[in-house]
């Protein structure tokens, strides 16, 4: 089974690794922090991306997330969140991005009594975003501190948009969820549009290679396949060595390409 595979890379590291993306034939999920967007003009960012665009590298993008919250009860926080997400618009169009990943900003400690209000506000933000993003683009809402799938499920049902779905982050699930995988996929499998593939040992968000931690990968991929959906596969390792190991794991599983022995950065 051949699958298109993407590798997560922060924009600040792009110059170091972009030739390796071209050599390996993988897609790129480029993460932009708020400081990246403030510290570089759109033309500067495009100049760094141009060799990959011209080389045919497929893209997804990861939006800024620190201190942002689309469901914030503070209108100013919501306004900044939308501004950051919309700063990606010229880059989405330039690289013809397939998807943009966003963090929902929800945690049960702050919003335990305001869940419904948060979901309503976040849904309005996502619908406003989709009115401005191009019509081919998928927006993937990632699980972060979620103990269970129900808030994300409620949010996505409120949005009810064919191009807004769920990014299942395996490492975050391992750390924060108290729900079993079957329950999670029963709730959010119909909304699945992207996978963030990294492992940990249950003690910190280590972003190590697939197979080096506690993730039950066979079970996860079995549940993914049972959804009948075709999510983007994004390796999200934090070291070159671990990213390459994950690529080799996916090569063995999906019979795709030969990633060889050279690294590519992450």
Asked if residue 264 belongs to a domain, the reply is no
Report the candidate in 71, 5, 59, 69 with the shortest Cα–Cα distance to residue 32.
59
pTM of the model: 0.94
- For the chain, the domain total comes to 1
Which secondary structure element, helix H or strand E, spans residue 251, and what is its range? helix 240-254
User: Is 147 a domain residue?
Assistant: yes
What does the pLDDT profile of the chain (266 residues) look like in tens digits? 357 899 999 999 999 999 999 999 999 999 999 999 999 999 999 999 999 999 999 999 999 999 999 999 999 999 999 999 999 999 999 999 999 999 999 999 999 899 999 999 999 999 999 999 999 999 999 999 999 999 999 999 999 999 999 999 999 999 999 999 999 999 999 999 999 999 999 999 999 999 999 999 999 999 999 999 999 999 999 999 999 999 999 988 875 555 554 443 33
Neighbours of 159 (CB within 10 A): 23
Is residue 260 one of the residues assigned to a domain?
Answer: no
- Tell me the per-residue pLDDT of 13-64, one tens digit each, with 9 for 90 and over: 999 999 999 999 999 999 999 999 999 999 999 999 999 999 999 999 999 9
Specify if 263 maps to a domain: no
Beta bridge partners of 69: none
In a domain, 212, yes or no: yes
CATH number at 236 reads 3.20.20.150
Q: Residue 234: inside a domain, yes or no? A: yes
Q: For residue 55, tell me if it sits in a domain.
A: yes
Domain range for 178 is 5-254
The verdict on residue 42 lying in a domain is: yes
Whole-number Å distance between alpha carbons of 130 and 128: 6
């Amino acid at each position: 089974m051949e699958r298109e595979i993407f590798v997560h890379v922060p924009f600040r590291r792009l110059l170091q690794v972009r030739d390796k993306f071209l050599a390996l034939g993988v897609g790129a999920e480029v993460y932009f922090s708020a400081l990246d967007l403030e510290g570089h003009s759109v033309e500067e960012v495009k100049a760094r991306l141009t060799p990959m665009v011209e080389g045919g590298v497929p893209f997804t993008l990861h939006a800024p997330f620190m201190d942002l919250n689309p469901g914030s009860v503070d209108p100013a926080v919501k306004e900044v969140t939308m501004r950051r997400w919309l700063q990606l618009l010229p880059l989405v169009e330039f690289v013809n991005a397939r998807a943009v990943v966003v963090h929902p900003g929800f945690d049960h400690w702050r919003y335990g009594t305001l869940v419904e209000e948060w979901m309503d506000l976040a849904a309005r933000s996502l619908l406003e975003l989709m009115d401005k993003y191009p019509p081919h683009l998928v927006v993937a809402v990632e699980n972060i501190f979620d103990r269970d799938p129900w808030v994300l499920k409620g949010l996505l049902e409120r949005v009810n948009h064919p191009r807004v779905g769920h990014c299942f982050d395996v490492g975050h699930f391992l750390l924060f969820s108290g729900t079993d995988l079957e329950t999670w996929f029963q709730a959010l499998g119909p909304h699945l549009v992207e996978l963030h593939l990294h492992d940990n040992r249950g003690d910190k968000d280590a972003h190590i290679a697939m197979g080096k931690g506690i993730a039950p990968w066979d079970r996860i991929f079995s549940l993914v396949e049972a959804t009948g959906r075709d999510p983007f596969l994004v390796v999200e390792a934090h070291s070159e060595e671990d990213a390459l190991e994950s690529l080799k794991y996916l090569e063995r599983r999906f019979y795709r390409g030969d990633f060889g022995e050279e690294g590519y950065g992450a």
